[in-house]
Amino acid sequence: MKPIPVQRQRIEKERHQHKVRRGFFWWAHWENMPWLEESAGWLLRLAGVYQRGLKNLFDTRIERPQIVLSHLPRAFDGFRILWISDLHADCIEGLIDHVLALAASLEYDLCVLGGDWCFNHYMTDDAARAARKTASTLAAKTPVYAIFGNHDYSQLAPILENAGAKLLLNDHIAFERAGEKLWFIGVDDTHYFKAADLNEALKGVPEGACKILLSHSPELNEPAARKGLALCLCGHTHGGQICLPNGFAPVYSADAPRRCIKGVWTYKGMTGYTSRGAGASGVAARFNCPPEISLITLKCS
C-alpha cells in the first residue's frame, strides 16, 4: 500500500468537517448545512414514515449490469466484479450481515469495496469492526480491492489491509488471467478530501492497457475519460437516496452530470457505472431508491 496522501492527512489533522466548495454560491450548498440532514430525519418521524424509510435500507437489490469494453482482453470475457459501496455501516444495525449474506449467494471473480464505512464525518469503533468483518469475510472467497470515500479515515487503512483487502490509494494493480492483464486504478476521495491523484495512480501502467478506474465519486469523469480509462466504477451519490416516486433525485452530492449519478452511463467514450450504494448517510432512510450491491460482468465487443 502506498502512503496515505498528504492532502488527506492534512485535512484529517484539522479534525472538523470541511466545507464543500463547488460553484459561486458554495456557502449555500446543502452539504455545508448539516442541520438540514438532522431536520430531514425529524420531518420523516413527524410524518410517520421514518420506520418505512429505515426498513427500505434492507430492500437491497442485486444489480447485474453487463458492460462491453472494446479493449478488454479475451481472457477476461465474462469476468465478474462484485462492487459494494457506501455501507455507512456503523449506524445501521444488521446491515453488514445482510449484505454479506447476499454476497455469499453470488459467484464472482473479484470483489471491490468502494468506500464510506462511517455514517457521520468521524471515525468510530463500529465502522472499524464493520470494515474488518466485511473485508475478511469477502477475502476468504476471492481477492478484494478497496478504496477510500469521503467518510473514511486513515485508521481504516491497516484494518482493511490486515483483513485481506488490497487498498488502492492513488495506486494500481494488475489482475492476471491466462497470461493477460486487466489493470485496476484506485484513487483516494476527490469529493471531500480532494486527495485523488490520477496521474500518480497511473504511473507504470502500460499506455494501451485496458484500465478500470475505482473512484468513490463519479466526479473524475472528465479527467478519467481524457486519460483513456475504459471503465469507471463509482458510488457516493446513493442515487439520491430520497427520491420522488418516479426515481428522480431532487438533490445529489456530486459535481458530475445527472446521468452519472446511478447505473450505467457514458462520457466521451468512457463507460461508467455508479452504484446507488448499500447503505445510507445523513438520515438512515431511503425512499424510491433501493440500495444495491452490483454484480458487474465484463464482455468483449
Q: What mean pLDDT comes out for the span 36-63? A: 89
Does 7 reside within a domain? no
CA distance 223 to 89: 31
Q: How confident is the model at residue 282 (pLDDT cuts 50, 70, 90)?
A: confident
For position 21, what pLDDT does the model report? 60
Does 22 reside within a domain? no
Identify whether the C-beta of residue 185 lies closer than 8 Å to the C-beta of residue 202: yes
CA distance 149 to 114: 7
CA distance 213 to 264: 14
Does 38 reside within a domain? yes
Strands 180-186 and 270-274: unpaired
pLDDT at 26 over 60: no
For position 22, what pLDDT does the model report? 62
Does 1 reside within a domain? no
Q: What mean pLDDT comes out for the span 198-220? A: 97
> Which residues, including other chains, have CB under 8 Å from residue 301's CB and lie 6 or more apart?
68, 69, 70, 72
The CATH number for 238's domain is 3.60.21.10
Q: Residue 271 is part of which domain span?
A: 30-300
Identify whether the C-beta of residue 87 lies closer than 8 Å to the C-beta of residue 99: yes
User: Tell me, what DSSP letter sits at residue 46?
Assistant: H
For position 91, what pLDDT does the model report? 87
For position 121, what pLDDT does the model report? 85
Mean pLDDT in the chain?
A: 93
Does 8 reside within a domain? no
pLDDT at 239 over 60: yes
Q: How confident is the model at residue 103 (pLDDT cuts 50, 70, 90)?
A: very high
For position 19, what pLDDT does the model report? 63
For position 236, what pLDDT does the model report? 96
- Looking at the structure of the chain, the number of domains it has is 1
Residue located via cell numbers 486519460: 227
Q: How many CB atoms lie within 10 A of CB 267?
A: 18
Q: How confident is the model at residue 30 (pLDDT cuts 50, 70, 90)?
A: low
User: Tell me, what DSSP letter sits at residue 280?
Assistant: -
Identify whether the C-beta of residue 150 lies closer than 8 Å to the C-beta of residue 236: yes
Biggest distance spanned by C-alpha atoms of the chain: 60
Q: How confident is the model at residue 216 (pLDDT cuts 50, 70, 90)?
A: very high
Overall size of the chain counted in residues:
301
Q: What mean pLDDT comes out for the span 149-154? A: 95
What pLDDT digit, counting tens, does each position of 51-85 carry?
A: 999 999 999 999 999 999 999 999 999 999 999 99
For position 178, what pLDDT does the model report? 97
Which run of H or E residues covers position 267? strand 263-267
Q: How confident is the model at residue 238 (pLDDT cuts 50, 70, 90)?
A: very high
Q: What mean pLDDT comes out for the span 166-182? A: 98
Which range has the worst mean pLDDT, 204-213, 219-228, 243-252? 243-252
For position 265, what pLDDT does the model report? 98
Handedness of CA 140, 151, 272, 260 (dihedral sign): positive
Which range has the worst mean pLDDT, 14-23, 35-44, 112-121, 191-200? 14-23
For position 246, what pLDDT does the model report? 94
Could you tell me the three cell numbers for 217? 465519486
Does 239 reside within a domain? yes
Does 176 reside within a domain? yes
- Say how many Å lie between the first and final Cα of the chain, rounded: 33
CA distance 216 to 135: 17
pLDDT at 40 over 70: yes
